[in-house]
Amino acid sequence: MTRRDGRGAAGALGVGLATAGAALLGGLAGAATDPGPAAPAIGAAAAAALAAALLARRRPVEARPPSAPVHRPPPEGLPARGLAPGIGRLALERLPTPLLLIDEAGRIVYANPAARVLFERLREGEHYSMSFRAPGFLDALEGALAAGGARRFEFALHGDRNRRIEAFVDGASLPDLDGGRRHAVCLFQDRTHDLRVARMRTDFVANASHELRTPLSSIKGFIETLQTSAKDDPEARERFLGIMLTQAERMQRLVDDLLSLSRIELEEHIAPQERLALGSLALEVVEAMGPMAAERGTELQAAIEPPGPVVRGDRDQLAQALGNLVENALKYGGGAPVSVTLERDAAERPGLVGLSVRDSGEGIPREHLPRLTERFYRVSVKRSRDQGGTGLGLAIVKHILSRHRGELEIESEPGEGSRFTLWLPPEGEPRVRVEDPRATAEI
């Protein structure tokens, strides 16, 4: 009979942990390089191997050292049959993927911190039905504990139907070595962001195609008319050519905004380094928008003393963001006065400085506010097109502020006008020459 002592058990544990560690690292590396559908399965296999090594640590040995055994109580809040403390448990604690270990009786034996963050109702030691309400997940767990095998499915998070979770359940990879009881290891991945991005990408392609198709169809129709029935009609020719020019300009604005948005997204991860005087930049934008305000008969004013606080930013992008807000106020403010002001020391935005564009027009209904920065989203499609809008202006502003580590605040009440504020982190107060209190910043 082969003799098994403490050293042999330690050796077996070492081999198990080494194998599990390699599997865990390999799974995490694979998930990092290829975050596709196979990543949860790879991570689950690695985590299951590591958890199996931890349970193997509790295998009874045939011979013990002569000293009396030391009985350590389980960690607080953990059932007696939970994972043993050590480097393996520490690895699972650090695992960024939510993981659960459930025994054959349905008790949650172990939940790593990521799982406790994702599922706020989760309680170790309780039956899993006390923490979950998704029928698909409950059925998969029952099947995994009864017959083993791996299962994958999606379910909505309890209390937030818009949040989608992908689960991988394996009931065959983790037998309990003390009594032969089956365990199920559950690995979760939050797919909400991925699904939202995919939906936004699909909507973007569909909306862009629609926005381009409409003016193209209009131009094509007028060209065919000019070639046939209106061929010898000078009055119709002049009218149709004017409409064609308007539609062509609309397409040009749309293409320009799409290209601008693409360039901004390419640089969004690179923080700008140029130092800018925010007040001076705002006055330049207001001056550039003066002709548009005069053409519409709208009063445009800026109560700003230059140079103002200094920020790190891209001059052209910040000018574009502020210009988009001023242009929107002039277009949709109903002819009411538009003002640009400098904001500081706001209780809701401590440590930030801002530029606000305010109009006293008809305002925006509250239900539209959360979606205003979505691409091609409009409160009124017809009114936006009549004003020459592309539906991308506020999306561009949002991405510019994302690159500048800033925030866009939108406040509006129907009948009371709207206020859009660009909030940015300041670089510090600019230096101003004493002899000229209205001098620009020395940057």
**In the structure encoding, which two tokens stand for residue 271, read together?**
């923080």
The 3-state DSSP class for residue 97 equals coil
Query: pLDDT under 50 in the chain at which residues?
Result: 1-42, 44, 52-81, 176-178, 429-443
SS3 per-residue string spanning 360-402: CCCCCCHHHHHHCCCCCCCCCHHHHHHCCCCCCHHHHHHHHHH
What's the pLDDT score for residue 314?
93
User: Which one-letter DSSP state was computed for residue 277?
Assistant: E
What's the pLDDT score for residue 18?
38
User: Which one-letter DSSP state was computed for residue 43?
Assistant: H
What's the pLDDT score for residue 324?
94
Tens of pLDDT, residue by residue over 138-180, are 887 787 777 777 778 778 776 566 678 888 888 765 554 445 5
The 3-state DSSP class for residue 245 equals helix
User: CATH 3.30.565.10 region(s) of the chain?
Assistant: 271-443
What's the pLDDT score for residue 420?
95
**In the structure encoding, which two tokens stand for residue 286, read together?**
């207001």
- pTM exceeding 0.95: no
What's the pLDDT score for residue 47?
52
What's the pLDDT score for residue 190?
84
- CA–CA gap between residue 313 and residue 414 (Å, rounded): 33
Give me the numbers of helices (H) and strands (E) for the chain, helices first please: 12, 13
**In the structure encoding, which two tokens stand for residue 405, read together?**
């580590």
Q: Which CATH number fits domain 271-443: 3.40.718.10, 1.10.287.70, 3.40.50.2300, 3.30.565.10?
A: 3.30.565.10
- CA–CA gap between residue 357 and residue 338 (Å, rounded): 7
User: Which one-letter DSSP state was computed for residue 68?
Assistant: P
Query: In which region does residue 86 sit, left (phi positive, over 0), alpha (psi from -120 to 50) or beta (all else)?
Result: left
- CA–CA gap between residue 430 and residue 277 (Å, rounded): 7
- CA–CA gap between residue 356 and residue 319 (Å, rounded): 13
What's the pLDDT score for residue 30?
42
CATH number of 6-62+73-190: 3.30.450.20
What's the pLDDT score for residue 428?
55
403-438 burial by CB neighbour count: b if 16+ within 10 A, else e?
Answer: bbebbbbbebeeeebbbbbbbbbbbeebebeeeeee
- CA–CA gap between residue 115 and residue 92 (Å, rounded): 11
CA–chain centroid gap for 373, Å, is 13
User: CATH 3.30.450.20 region(s) of the chain?
Assistant: 6-62+73-190
- CA–CA gap between residue 271 and residue 274 (Å, rounded): 10
CATH topology of domain 194-266: Helix Hairpins (1.10.287)
User: CATH 1.10.287.130 region(s) of the chain?
Assistant: 194-266
What's the pLDDT score for residue 95?
78
The CB-based long-range contact list for 337-340 (8 Å cut-off, 24+ gap) reads 337/298, 337/299, 337/300, 337/301, 338/293, 338/298, 338/299, 338/300, 338/301, 339/300, 339/301, 339/302, 339/303, 340/282, 340/285, 340/286, 340/300, 340/301, 340/302, 340/303, 340/304
